[in-house]
A and B are shown apart, each in its own frame.
Chain A
Amino acid sequence: MTVRSTLLSTVAALGVLLGAAAAAAQTQTIPSDERSALSPGLHDAGLAIRGMALEHALPPPPGFFAEEALFAVPQTEAEFQAFAQRMQTNPPRYGPLALASTDMAMAKGRLFVGNFNGFNIWDVSGAGEPKLISSVVCPGGQGDLSVHGDLLFMSVEENRARLDCGTAAASGDVNAERFRGVRIFDISDIRAPRQVAAVQTCRGSHTHTLVPDPRDRNVLYIYNSGTSGVRKTDELSICSAGEPGTNPNTALYSIDVIKVPLDRPQDAAIANRPRIFADRATGQVNGLWTGGKAGVASQETARTNQCHDITVYPELNLAGGACAGNGILLDISDPQNPSRVSEMFDPDMAYWHSATFNNAGDKVVFTDEWGGGLAARCTSADPSSWGANLIATVEDRKLKGQTYFKLPSVQTRQENCVAHNGNIIPVPGRDLMVQAWYQGGVSIMDFTDPKKPVEIAYFDRGPVANDKLVMAGSWSAYWLNGRIYSSEISRGLDVLKLLPSEQLSAAEIAAAEAVRMDVINPQTQTRVSWADTPDVAQAYLDQLARTPAALDAALATQARTAIDGWRRNRADRRAMGQLSTALAEAAGKAQGADASRLKALSDLFGRRSAAR
């Protein structure tokens, strides 16, 4: 959520109208479907769901909901009068996102859900409904959080926030009690987390990402992205604002690298503020997009003086940065000194917001938070390439844009909607991403073919109200150990289970559900490898069956027979060996994703035939 960029994007929206003639050729709109006119309601809105089931819909925990805190702007004279009347007796005094639920992490069977007002910890170790363990109140927004061992890290960016998680807002220009940066909590007592450190930063912390030191298990790095104003030097001596031309030491145009000694987290401190946007030739620190439109019909793209979010993939020594006006790749082999290896710009992107690698690391999904998350950007008037995902490929560590994917369903003007947070669903043989679109709901995109991403499943609710835009919707939707968890800004927590469909088979779902991880911080990606199981083999086979003539019918039957036998503990090793050879040969003649699937299935049968 970036409130700051809202107006930039408002301007951009107007660009659509004004550049309509020029853009008409390339402007496509999104279609309407059953999600486009769902009935409104806070707790009883109409639902549309395909390819999944809503297992649990849990309301916000006690202390994290107030009807009064729901944010809606009076739009008519009558509404304004009614509002003014109410002010006489009981004035609402909440900021627009005061109690909004935000990002998530999972560790040891516990789900951690951030909030502008603190965070909540849920027990999700059992099969049933998540159970609330404890709630922590510490206002300051936006509550992006990560977990490592007994430590929980939390992003704080608002001026009101205090070191002591306190009630009265920190006031004034310079305030020694103010805290903007990354808080560190000790969660060893899960029912009573304690704050152990608070690392102050110049632009606060909008999001952060954990980067384990590959050489020292006692060291954890945090890449911190601050997106709001620079603090006064008198409040934090390392900070000063301004453009680099007049202030070479400006706190703009960098990220913070925080070093955390895990045995002494209280000593965590900023270790580096690398100039990752610098021009490679001249060293000029504002070397990337300087803001504005590339052409008359282009988006108004933000200036690259910050990252909004960074996703690291330590096994590849790479990080993907979504950095306002650009998408970038960083080499993180020396995690304290990340260095930029590639960057891209796109005239349809307003605000590069987040990056997600596929499992192989040869694709990156960048999101564009056009409108900052507060605006209805999925209406029939909005172009399909704005506020969308941009799928990029990575070859030789270079980014290359391929195409856009936008939620393929028109949403009402009462629903804030734009691309937001998601992660990979580990189905072998495919690149699937589950993603939050605020009140556009939850959507699963198949981007195996980076030029032709398609939606394969979704979940959506109607707006909160039918006559005004009330802030709500899915902030993050993540696949976390077998279920999709969706953090609903105003409505609580949703848990979704995948269901088989033509687009996703039971075996593919089972293969994904079998992948388990102790700790999941979605912006710290780890490579998934699948165990050799009948489900994994069947998943490849099911995928091959979707392409006509991808696999010879007789060979497909033999493969199915072999997998069925294996399932019944009657694996025919000799048949598997023969299949492996035949599939390898077929792979040599095939292309693209199907060639990879044939190869994977061949390898799998090869290993099984040799297994004892």
Chain B
Amino acid sequence: MQLLAVLVSALLSQAAQTPPIVQPGAPGQPSRAITARDAVALSRTTFIEADVRFMQHMIVHHAQAVEMVELLRAHGADAQVKLLGERIALSQAAEVERMRGWLAERGQTLEAPSSSHEHHGHSHSHGGEPHPEPDLDDLAAMRGMLTPRQMRALAEARGAAFDRLFLQGMIQHHQGALGMVDALLAVPGAAEDPSLSDFAASVVADQSAEILRMQNLLSALQP
């Protein structure tokens, strides 16, 4: 009997001692008890349309670098430039995979509606003074991307001249990516999603490092 009472009391006290889940307040403020369901919900993250557009646009942007390296394989001369080009192509391809993954995980399409493409390197106004239609050959699809005219010039170049054009073009291309990150960060509420924010940070780190290397190679190539 005595034993039974002890057992019952032990069981009761165990039930009362279900491990609590608490959410602290700001420093100096009290904590509060929450449910397991709340605890999980608190970890959810958010993203906004600008984040989605950024990823969609960066995929287009990166695809051009891969195209440029295809030209390099055929027409480049310098072994160092070719080596760097291969690395760039592979790293851009890996980043594209990561961006596709980010978009897919959030149920977003991989391509932006075409009207939302930004256009750079020309004047572009909405509802103001009418402008003459720009020459499409001079329109870059995305900030820093080579225009169709630039891409043709690259495709026609050979040897050392190709290498120089390639490096100049890729530096411009990479600087465009840095600009895209800056533009994203300027949008209130953008880049709050931790994985996107980490991705943007790594884009900045990688492209800056590659620009530096390309600048070095370029100065070594100058006749």
Contact = CB atoms under 8 A, between A and B. Distances in A.
Contact of A69 (B38, B43, B186, B206): B43
Nearest to A71: B105
Contacts of B44: 93-94, 98
Interface in B167-223: 185-186, 188-189, 191-195, 197-199, 201-203, 205-206, 209, 212-213
Interface in A263-303: 266, 291-292, 296, 300, 302-303
A69 B105 CA distance: 11
Interface string B7-21: 000000000000111
22 contacts: A4-B201, A5-B202, A8-B205, A10-B94, A18-B86, A62-B21, A62-B39, A69-B43, A73-B98, A93-B106, A137-B38, A137-B39, A137-B42, A159-B191, A164-B25, A167-B42, A173-B185, A185-B24, A194-B30, A195-B27, A229-B201, A303-B209
Given A73-B101, A135-B19, A137-B39, A173 B24 contact: no
Contacts of A69: 40, 43
A315 B213 CA distance: 44
A329 to B, nearest CB: 26
What size tier do the contact residues of chain A reach? 35 or more
A195 B24 contact: yes
Main secondary structure of the interface of A (DSSP, over half): loop
Contacts, number: 221
A195 B34 CA distance: 16
A548 interface: no
A539 to B, nearest CB: 39
A15 B90 CA distance: 10
A117 B39 CA distance: 8
Contacts of A11: 87, 90-91, 206
B42 A83 contact: no
A87 B52 CA distance: 15
A27 interface: no
Given A169-B45, A197-B27, A83 B107 contact: yes
- Which has the most chain B C-beta neighbours within 10 Å: A6, A10, A135, A173? A10
Interface in B88-132: 90-91, 94-95, 97-98, 101, 104-107
B200 to A, nearest CB: 9
Contacts of A141: 194
Interface residues of B, number: 60
Interface string A226-241: 0011000000000000
Nearest to B207: A7
B153 interface: no
Given A11-B91, A63-B39, A193-B31, A169 B192 contact: yes
A4 B198 contact: yes
Given A7-B202, A8-B205, A95-B194, A15 B27 contact: no
- Which has the most chain A C-beta neighbours within 10 Å: B43, B97, B202? B43
Contacts of B46: 93, 160, 169, 171
Interface of B: 19-31, 34-46, 83, 86-87, 90-91, 94-95, 97-98, 101, 104-107, 185-186, 188-189, 191-195, 197-199, 201-203, 205-206, 209, 212-213
A150 to B, nearest CB: 15
Nearest to A100: B43
Interface string A93-113: 111111100000000000000
Given A10-B94, A173-B185, A292-B209, A193 B87 contact: no
Contacts of B104: 73-74, 80, 83-84
Contacts of A14: 86-87, 90-91
A61 interface: yes
A531 interface: no
Nearest to B87: A14
Interface in A29-46: none
Interface string A490-504: 000000000000000
Nearest to B83: A18
A95 B90 contact: no
B195 A167 contact: no
A66 B56 CA distance: 28
Given A10-B91, A159-B192, A163-B26, A4 B43 contact: no
Contact of A160 (B39, B40, B192): B192
A229 B185 CA distance: 12
Given A117-B43, A192-B22, A292 B27 contact: no
B202 A61 contact: no
Contact of A134 (B20, B91, B185): B20
A68 to B, nearest CB: 9
A172 B188 contact: yes
Interface string A171-183: 1110000000000
Given A93-B45, A228-B201, A165 B25 contact: yes
Interface string A70-92: 01011100001001101110011
Contacts of B198: 3-4, 6, 228
A266 B28 contact: yes
